[in-house]
DNA sequence: AATTAAATGTTAGATTTTCTTACATAAAAC
DNA sequence: GTTTTATGTAAGAAAATCTAACATTTAATT
């Protein structure tokens, strides 16, 4: 599953298509980029080109937005995910301990407010559903 | 495999991307369309939007061109394919018989000239290879 | 070999899409 | 009741694509 990652990161789609596929406005998509949630590639002429992964992520974001999570929350979630992905198995155990003890105050506040608001969360697979497209 | 057909026919790609993916010039792509080999969708503003199937077909065309088949030959090949696809099993038997007897002169000429020029043909799977992209 | 036809390149001007920036507004947070 | 957040909207510029025409090269025909 090495080549598949490349393929899913290949910049292929113009913003117009992504709008249709995600039902997001151009404004929304650019705003999410502005806040670092996605980083679509660019053509020489600076037009955005989105990958399948970008679209997946936008669908995830849309889901979270629909569930009332604000951008700050979404950012934190991605930060957490990223850290976890970068951690080896036993680093994770360490982190779990830390999480339960002295995680920084702001993160705790956010996580409590955004994530623990009912079990509406993790209900669905961590991944935006793009199976209908390819 | 019903939905997958829909997905593969979904108009998603601008001509710029298709150029990169196929290594064909815009002129070539438009020329092949002009001659009915592909029929990409259009945006409201008349810009072409290509599907995965369109791209596959262009890769097939490119292969055939590279092998020295001219557009007339490619057209015939698609005509034959299309007919075959539209035929039921026993219609096919019928057709095989006919093929071996009284196919029209021009088609014979073309097929002999273009198709039977060595076994360079059918060497590769009938399908443009797009696996690297999705 | 000369001529015609097929396939592609190139250019020009028009149109469409996307870009950035700025201001406007509704909803949410404080 | 302000501020902040998320999104809408508009304007002007830049990029990508469009069609149509003519130019060039390669292949086929006579």
pLDDT in tens, A67-126: 999 999 999 888 766 667 777 666 766 666 655 543 444 444 444 344 333 333 333 444
Q: Choose the closest CB to A134 out of B7, B17, B132.
A: B7
Q: Which of residues 79-108 of B touch strand D (CB under 7 A)?
A: none
Q: Report CA-CA distances (Å) from B68 to A105, B71, B80, B86.
A: 69, 10, 19, 28
Q: What are phi and psi of A15, to 5 degrees?
A: -65, -30
Percentage of chain A lying above the pLDDT 70 cut:
62
Cα(B14)–Cα(B3) distance, rounded to whole angstroms?
Answer: 22
pLDDT of B99 strictly over 90: no
Partners of B13 in the β-ladder: B50
Nearest to A63 by CA among A115, A124, A14: A124
Domain ranges (residues) in chain A: 3-115
**Nucleic strand C near CB of residue A76 (< 7 Å):** no
pLDDT digits (tens, 9 = 90+) for A109-120: 444 344 333 333
Tens digit of pLDDT for each residue in B108-126?
Answer: 344 334 333 333 333 334 4
For strand C, list residues 67-106 of chain B whose Cβ lies within 7 Å of it: 70-72
Q: Which residues on A lie below 8 Å from B7 (Cβ)? A: 132-134
Q: Which of B41, B2, B8, B18 is nearest to A134 (CA)?
A: B8
- In this prediction, residue B87 carries a pLDDT of 73
What pLDDT is stored for residue B105 in this prediction?
A: 41
Q: Alpha carbon A44 to chain centroid distance?
A: 26
* 3-state class (DSSP) for residue A42: strand
Residue of A nearest to B13 (CA): A13
Q: How close does chain B come to A4, measured CA to CA in Å?
A: 7
Contacts of A3 in chain B (CB under 8 A): 132
Q: Give B50's strand partners.
A: B13
| A34-47 CB burial, b ≥16 within 10 A, e <16 | eeebbebeeeeeee
- Sorting pLDDT into bands at 50, 70 and 90, what band is A23? very high
Residue B3 pLDDT more than 90? no
| CATH of range B3-115; options 1.10.1660.10, 4.10.520.10, 3.40.50.150, 1.20.59.20 | 1.10.1660.10
Distance CA B108, CA B75 (A): 14
- Cα–Cα distances (Å) from A112 to A80, A82, A107, B105, in that order, read 14, 19, 8, 79
Query: Dihedral sign, CA of B46, B51, B57, B62?
Result: positive
Q: Residue B42's beta-bridge partner residues?
A: B48
Q: Is A12–B12 a contact, with Cβ atoms under 8 angstroms apart?
A: yes
Question: What percent of chain B has a predicted confidence (pLDDT) above 70?
Answer: 63
Instruction: Report d(CA B49, CA B41) in Å as an integer.
Output: 5
- Encode pLDDT of B21-49 as tens digits: 999 999 999 999 999 999 999 999 999 99
Q: Which of A71, A24, A57 is nearest to A126 (CA)?
A: A57
For residue A134, is pLDDT > 70?
no
Give the bases of strand C that a protein CB approaches within 7 Å. Answer: 6-10, 15-21, 28-29
Nucleotide minimizing C1' to CA distance for residue A113: C29
């Amino acid at each position: 599953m090495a080549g598949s990652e490349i393929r899913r990161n290949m910049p292929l789609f113009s913003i117009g298509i992504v709008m249709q596929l995600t039902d997001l406005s151009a404004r929304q998509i650019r705003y999410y980029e502005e806040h670092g949630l996605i980083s679509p590639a660019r053509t020489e002429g600076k037009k955005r080109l989105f990958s399948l992964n970008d679209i997946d992520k936008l669908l995830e974001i849309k889901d979270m937005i629909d569930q009332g999570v604000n951008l700050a929350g979404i950012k934190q979630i991605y930060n957490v995910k990223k850290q976890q992905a970068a951690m080896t198995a036993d680093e994770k155990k360490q982190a779990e301990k830390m999480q339960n003890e002295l995680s920084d105050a702001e993160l705790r506040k956010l996580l409590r407010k955004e994530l623990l608001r009912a079990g509406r969360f993790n209900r669905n697979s961590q991944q935006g559903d793009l199976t209908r497209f390819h």
